[in-house]
Structure 1
Amino acid sequence: MANDVFILGGYQTDFSRNWARENLELMDMFKETLEEGMAETGLAATDIDAAHVGNFTAELFCGQGHLGGFFAEADPAFSGMPAGRHEAACASSSIAMLSATAEIEAGRYDVVAVLGIEMMRNIPGDQAAKFIGGTAMWAGHECTDVKYPWPHMFSRLGDEYDRRYGLKQQHLAGIAEVNFANAKRNPNAQTKKWEFGPKSFTEDNEANPVIDGRIRRQDCGQVTDGAAVVFLASRKGAEKYASKHGLALENIPRIQGWGHSVAPISLDSKLAEGMKSNSPYIFPHVRRAIMDAFGRAAINGSFDLDAIETHDCFTTTEYMAIDHFGITKPGESWKAIEDSTIAFDGKLPVNPSGGLIGLGHPVGATGARMVLDAAKQVAGKAGDYQVEGARRVGTLNIGGSATTTVSFIVGR
C-alpha cells in the first residue's frame, strides 16, 4: 500500500445479546461500543480526528438514520469532528473502512474510528427477513414471491456449483460444523452455548429443516444485534500511540492490502457475467478483489496467510470463498473440507472466530468485526480462538448476492 495504515485496536460487543430485551436501543449499543473501544485502546476523544459508521438498515429496524451524529451524541467531546455513514448491505462497514484508510493514505487525518453497527432482533423474524431481503437485492425484480429471500439466493449459488462442478450437502454441513465448533471458543459468539445432536448436520428434516432449496437451518448465518469499532492510524499516529503506550511499532497490526469490486446488483446478471467471461470462478469479480488485495500486500496466494475471516452468511458463500481465495482449484472446495485444511487446527483455518454462522452477523458490523478479529490474531490477542503463530490474516466481506466485495490483508 502507498502509505501504512495501522490498527491500534478496537472492541466488539457480545453478539449473543438481545438489546431490545434489555430495554436498550441503538444509541446505547453505539455508545457502549465506542466507550469500551476507547478504554481498550487507551484513546481519548481528543485523539481521534475523524470517524465513519457502517450500517445497513437502521431506518427500517430502528427508524433511525443520520448515524454520523451519534459520535457527538455519545460523547460531547466529539462535537465538530468529521463523521459520516456508509451503506453497502453486508459490506457496509468494509466500505467505511476503505473510506477511513483512504483519508489516512491521503494525509488528511492520523487517527480515524470505524464503527459498524446493526440492531436486528427487535422485531419478529419474518419481518426481519423482509427488511434485509429486497433492500439489498434489486427491489421489485428479485425474490418478489419468496418468503426467505437470502436463503433462496444463496441456495441458487449452490445450484450453480452443482450445475458446473457437482455439490454434496455433506460438504456444506462440514463448513457449518467447523464454524459452530470454532464459535465455542469465542466468548463473543452468539451460538457459543448452543447444543447440537447427532442429526443436527444431516439432511434430517426435523433436526435440520429446509429453509429454502438446499439451504437448511444449520447452513444459515445468524440474525444478530451487535457492533464493532476499529481505530486506524497513519504511521505518524501509530508512532505517537506506540511511544505513549510503550509499544514497538512493528508489533502493531497494519492493513497490508485491500481489494474492492462491485458487480451488477441482480444475481442473474452476476451469474451471466461469470459465464460470459469463461472464467472457472463463479464470481470472477470476487476473485479479482481477493487478488487485488494479495497484490497490494505483495503475497503470492492464500497459503501466505495464516488464517482467513470470510463471509459465510450461508455455507454456500463460504464454499465459494474457499476456491475464490485459491485454497483449492475452482469447483474443488470440497477437498479443503474433507482434508480439514479449513479446520481450526488445519493448514489454513477459516473463520476461527466462528464466522457469521457461529459468531453472528449484525449486518453493518461484520466488515469491521472481521478486520478487528484479523488484527487480534496477528497481535496474538484472540484468546481461546488464537491461531498459533498467526502473522497475516485475510478477510472477505460481501454485500448482497456478492454485489459489493471487499477483501483486506492484515499483518505485522
Structure 2
Amino acid sequence: MNAQKIYILGGYQSDFAQNIIRANQAVSDLFVDTVRSGLAACKLNAAEIEVGHVGNFVSSLFSGQAHLGGFFGHVDPAMHYMPASAHEAACASGSMAILAAMADLEAGRYETACVLGIEIMRNVSGDQAAANLRPAAWASQEWTETDFVWPCAFNNMLSLYEERYSLNKDYLYAISKQNFASARLNPNAQTRQWQFNEDSFSNNESANPIVSGDIRKQDCGQITDGAAVVFLATERKAAQYAARHNIALSAIPTINGWGHVNAPISFKEKLRLSEPEGFLFPHINALFQQTLKRARMNSLSSIDGLEVHDCFNITEYMILDHSGLYPPGDAWKAIENGDISRSGKLPVNISGGLMGLGHPVGATGVRMLLDSYKQISGSAGDYQIDNAQNVMTFNLGGSATTCASFIVGKAHT
C-alpha cells in the first residue's frame, strides 16, 4: 500500500548561540517564539494547523517544566484547543515527534501538523547537566562509576574501533575540524564565532584537553539551548498552499523515505549482537537500508548530503562506517578521499552538525529535517550544497538505542 505523501511546507530554527536564561526567557518563551516565527516564515495562519507534536527529552529536569504540548495554546488563539502530544526518546526525541506527525497525516486524522523540537540545557552547571542526561543510558546499570556518562560511553565506542580496526584518531580530528568550519557559514550555529588553531584538533593538552579516556574537548558536541519547527502537510493541503503562494507543488520538498529501529538499551547487549567480522552495530546498517528502500533507492549514490548525529566525532565516524559507503572498518577512506566535504560525493553535516551548529537534545531531529528541507528548496544560504536533490538524516538516542532516519527530496511521480 502506498502511503500518503508528506510535504514539508517549511520551518524555522532559533539561534543556537543564545543562552535562553541569560536572555531572561524560559522554555515557554522559546516554544512560543519559535512556533510564531515559523508560521511567519512560512506565511501560514495558526488556524491552518490541525495537530501539534513536540520532541523533548528532559525539560522537566533542566527547567522544571513538563507537559510542553500545552504551550501551543499560548502561540495563537486559533491553537487554544488544538490536539497536541510530546515525545521522548533521548536525543532522537525530535525524530519520534516527526514520525508521529507523519502517522497522523498518513492515517487521515489530520492534514497539517506542526512539529517542534526544543531543549534548554545551559541553565545549570556542567555537573548537573551531565546528571540530567544520564537517563538516556540504563541509568542504574551503565557507567555508574563516572559522573560524565556520555564522554565515557563514546570513549568505549572509540576504544572498540581502535581495537577492531586500529583507527587513527587523526581522522576523527578531521571530522571535528570540518564540522566547526562548516558552522562558520551557518548564521544559527552556536560556534560560528569560535576561534580555533591547528592545535585545537590534536593531542595538545592545553588547546584540546582530555574529557574522558581518549575523548578530548573538540571531540564533543555542544550543550545547547534551542528549538526548531517544521510544518508538514498532506498532498491536498500542500497543493492548496502552493496555489495560494503561486508556487509549483513539485517545488515543495517531501519526505520520501524514513526508517526507525530500536536496539536494547544495554550497551553490552548491543555488543553481543555485533557481527565479529562485519558491522559493529548491525541495526544501524539495517536502518540505512530500510530508509533507502522506502525511498525507492538502491544505494547512497542517490543521496546528495547527509545530516548525521555527531554528538562526538566518533559517532559520526561510526555512522559513516555503517552507511555502506565503504566496507566496515574503512570509513576513514571517506575522510581521506574528501568524500564527506562540501564538494565531495557525499557531503556530511554541512550545517555544522551537533558539534558546530549545536545539540539541544530534543530539537536535533527536527533541526536535521529542517536543514534537509533547506538544501532541497535551495534556501540553505552560504552552506547550500550545489544541486541537492536528496538529503538524508540519521538521528540517534542514547548509545545508538533509538535510531531514526529520513530522506527529503521532491515528490515521486
Instruction: Normalising by structure 2, report the TM-score.
Output: 0.98
Q: Give the equivalent residue in structure 2 for 1:115.
A: 116
Do structure 1's residue 383 and structure 2's residue 381 form an aligned pair?
yes
| Percent identity of equivalent pairs | 52
What's the CA shift for 1:290?
A: 1.5
Q: Give the equivalent residue in structure 1 for 2:255.
A: 255
Q: Give the equivalent residue in structure 2 for 1:229.
A: 229
- Between the aligned partners of 1:289 and 1:79, the Cα distance in structure 2 is 38
Q: Give the equivalent residue in structure 2 for 1:150.
A: 150
- Between the aligned partners of 2:23 and 2:311, the Cα distance in structure 1 is 26
- Between the aligned partners of 1:198 and 1:259, the Cα distance in structure 2 is 38
- Between the aligned partners of 2:104 and 2:247, the Cα distance in structure 1 is 24
1:281 aligned residue (279, 282, 290):
279
Q: Give the equivalent residue in structure 2 for 1:33.
A: 34
- Between the aligned partners of 2:313 and 2:181, the Cα distance in structure 1 is 14
Do structure 1's residue 408 and structure 2's residue 410 form an aligned pair?
no
What's the CA shift for 1:75?
A: 2.2
What's the CA shift for 1:323?
A: 1.9
Q: Is the 1:178–1:344 contact (alpha carbons within 8 Å) kept by the matching residues of 2?
A: no
Post-superposition CA distance 1:120-142 (Å, at most 9, x none)? 00111111011112x10101111
Counterparts of residues 186-335 of structure 1 (less than 5 Å): 186-275=186-275, 278=276, 280-335=278-333
Unaligned runs of 5+ in 1: none
Post-superposition CA distance 1:113-165 (Å, at most 9, x none)? 100000000111111011112x1010111111212110110111111112221
4+ runs deviating over 4 angstroms? none
What's the CA shift for 1:74?
A: 2.6
- Greater alpha carbon shift after TM alignment, 359-368 vs 338-347: 338-347
| Code of the aligned partner of 1:290 | F
Post-superposition CA distance 1:37-92 (Å, at most 9, x none)? 00000111110010100000000000011111010023232011110000000000
3-state SS, counterpart of residue 309 of structure 1: strand
- Between the aligned partners of 1:343 and 1:96, the Cα distance in structure 2 is 30
Q: Give the equivalent residue in structure 2 for 1:164.
A: 164
- Between the aligned partners of 1:65 and 1:198, the Cα distance in structure 2 is 43
3-state SS, counterpart of residue 201 of structure 2: coil
- Between the aligned partners of 2:277 and 2:394, the Cα distance in structure 1 is 20
Could you say if the C-alpha distance between residues 279 and 398 of structure 1 is closer, same or farther in structure 2, counting changes exceeding 3 Å? farther
- Between the aligned partners of 2:384 and 2:277, the Cα distance in structure 1 is 36
Post-superposition CA distance 1:217-246 (Å, at most 9, x none)? 001000000000000000011011101111
What's the CA shift for 1:279?
A: 6.2
3-state SS, counterpart of residue 200 of structure 1: helix
Q: Is the 1:10–1:37 contact (alpha carbons within 8 Å) kept by the matching residues of 2?
A: yes
Could you say if the C-alpha distance between residues 106 and 341 of structure 1 is closer, same or farther in structure 2, counting changes exceeding 3 Å? same
3-state SS, counterpart of residue 274 of structure 1: coil
3-state SS, counterpart of residue 51 of structure 1: strand
Q: Give the equivalent residue in structure 2 for 1:15.
A: 16
Post-superposition CA distance 1:266-293 (Å, at most 9, x none)? 1111111114xx5611111111111111
Q: Give the equivalent residue in structure 1 for 2:175.
A: 175
RMSD: 0.9
3-state SS, counterpart of residue 199 of structure 1: helix
Post-superposition CA distance 1:293-336 (Å, at most 9, x none)? 10000111112100000000000100011121122211111111
Q: Is the 1:27–1:74 contact (alpha carbons within 8 Å) kept by the matching residues of 2?
A: no
- Between the aligned partners of 1:301 and 1:211, the Cα distance in structure 2 is 37
- Between the aligned partners of 1:73 and 1:376, the Cα distance in structure 2 is 28
| Code of the aligned partner of 2:303 | L
| Code of the aligned partner of 1:311 | H
